[in-house]
Homo-oligomer: A and B are copies of this chain.
Amino acid sequence: MKNNTPQDKGKSGLHWRGRLWLEGEEGTFLGYGRVVLLERIREYGSLAQAARSMEMSYKHAWDLLASMNRQAGCRLVETSRGGKSGGGARLTVTGERAITVFWQYHARFQDVLQEMTAKLGEVLCGDPGEEL
């Protein structure tokens, strides 16, 4: 008798996990780290401060942003030059949307992993003769 009820869930304590990123022609377009960078730019209004808060060099943050802009085909962040402090930075509508979209798909992705885990119960150690 087939029985896929949730009673089997976590039988062995095993669960599916995963990482998700959005890839373009250059490689990663948007992953966890880039999304956090965008969120920090929104929080601080400054690429330099956002980078510093993540212990990332300004150059690296700038390169990540340039890579996102190129691959999106439009700007995710508007920057203004402002001398030593590095000027101001604010997210465009596309930048805001990138954050929203990433977390939206990330949530869907986590749901799928949970669904996969719920189905996993019976797959291992079905044969008592194999027990340790």
Q: Check if A127 is an interface residue, CB within 8 A of chain B.
A: yes
Q: Evaluate contact between B101 and A109: CB separation under 8 angstroms.
A: no
CA of A83 to CA of B49, assembled, Å: 61
Q: Evaluate contact between B18 and A125: CB separation under 8 angstroms.
A: no
Residues of B within 8 A of A20 (CB): 16-18
Q: Check if A12 is an interface residue, CB within 8 A of chain B.
A: yes
Residues of B within 8 A of A108 (CB): 116
Q: Which of A22, A25, A93, A108 has the most CB of B within 10 A?
A: A22
Closest to A92 in B: B130
Residues of B within 8 A of A75 (CB): 130, 132
Q: Check if A94 is an interface residue, CB within 8 A of chain B.
A: yes
Residues of B within 8 A of A126 (CB): 93-94, 97
Q: Evaluate contact between A71 and B19: CB separation under 8 angstroms.
A: no
